């Protein structure tokens, strides 16, 4: 198999200035709705890029759990590698790879930790097994085996019994407050449509077309 010979030509849609809302969050919601209605797997999945104190970037996939005027919200273990990176360098980037729609959205911004109250509100909506996993997994740490992880999970399940599972002190959320938001629509011949919103000092947004 020659990977260089694998290619697709994109032709599902176009993107023009007149198609875009003046507010990038409103525009994102339009595209997110289309992604959710398309039937694709995990439309809320986003790649999160961070950079630690050593200057080396790291990328992983997390799920978007909220969006409002502040920005893009996700939740995680606050002792994980991503959380350690964000403590060292709060700048982050998000990528929504909606390939089935021949679209991408790229966000850059600063990640701010959410309040305990907001994290608790979300934690209480999680399935019970996911709540238990938050307690059982010391995310990003080295473990001896999956069996050890499952044993820890079983012990946590026994500990809490049928009672309410509290929010772990080491678990919470972040909001990536956007500085730029780019909307990318695939086009034939690699002449893609790209538009980038950039936040201005007065919190308005400038919209620019970018070369593909």
pLDDT tens-digit profile, the chain (212 residues): 899 989 899 999 999 999 999 999 999 999 999 999 999 999 999 999 999 999 999 999 999 999 999 999 999 999 999 999 999 999 999 999 999 999 999 999 999 999 999 999 999 999 999 999 999 999 999 999 999 999 999 999 999 999 999 999 999 999 999 999 999 999 999 999 999 999 999 999 999 999 99
The pair of structure tokens assigned to 66 is 């909220």
pLDDT tens-place string over residues 125-134: 999 999 999 9
**Pick from 210, 162, 164, 152: which is nearest to 183 by CA?**
210
Segment holding 109, helix H or strand E: strand 103-113
How confident is the model at residue 159, as a pLDDT?
96
Structure token pair of residue 142: 């080295």
Candidate list 12, 121, 128, 190, residue with the active-site label:
190
Domains in the chain (CATH in brackets) are 12-124+169-210 (2.30.110.10), 127-166 (no CATH)
Distance between CA atoms of residues 12 and 102, nearest Å: 7
110 carries an active-site annotation: no
Collapsed DSSP state (helix, strand, coil) of residue 148: helix
How many CB atoms lie under 10 A from the CB of residue 43? 21
Q: Is 69 exposed, middle or buried (0-12, 13-18, 19+ CB in 10 A)?
A: exposed
Tell me 144's DSSP state.
S
- At 7 the pLDDT is 87
């Amino acid at each position: 198999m020659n990977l260089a010979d694998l290619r697709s030509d994109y032709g599902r849609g176009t993107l023009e200035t007149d198609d875009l809302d003046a507010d990038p969050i409103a525009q994102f919601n339009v595209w997110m709705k289309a992604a959710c209605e398309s039937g694709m797997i995990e439309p809320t999945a986003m790649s999160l890029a961070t950079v630690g104190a050593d200057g080396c970037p790291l990328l992983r996939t997390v799920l978007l759990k909220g969006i409002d005027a502040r920005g893009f919200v996700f939740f995680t273990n606050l002792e994980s590698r991503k959380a350690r990176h964000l403590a060292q360098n709060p700048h982050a980037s998000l990528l929504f790879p909606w390939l089935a729609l021949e679209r991408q959205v790229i966000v850059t911004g600063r990640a701010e930790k959410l309040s305990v109250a907001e994290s608790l509100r979300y934690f209480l909506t999680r399935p019970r097994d996911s709540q238990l996993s938050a307690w059982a997994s010391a995310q990003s740490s080295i473990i001896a085996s999956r069996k050890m992880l499952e044993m820890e999970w079983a012990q946590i399940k026994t500990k809490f019994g049928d009672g309410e599972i509290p929010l772990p002190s080491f678990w919470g959320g972040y909001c990536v407050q956007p500085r730029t938001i780019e909307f990318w629509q695939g086009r034939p011949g690699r002449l893609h449509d790209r538009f980038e919103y950039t936040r201005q000092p007065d919190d308005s947004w400038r919209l620019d077309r970018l070369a593909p």
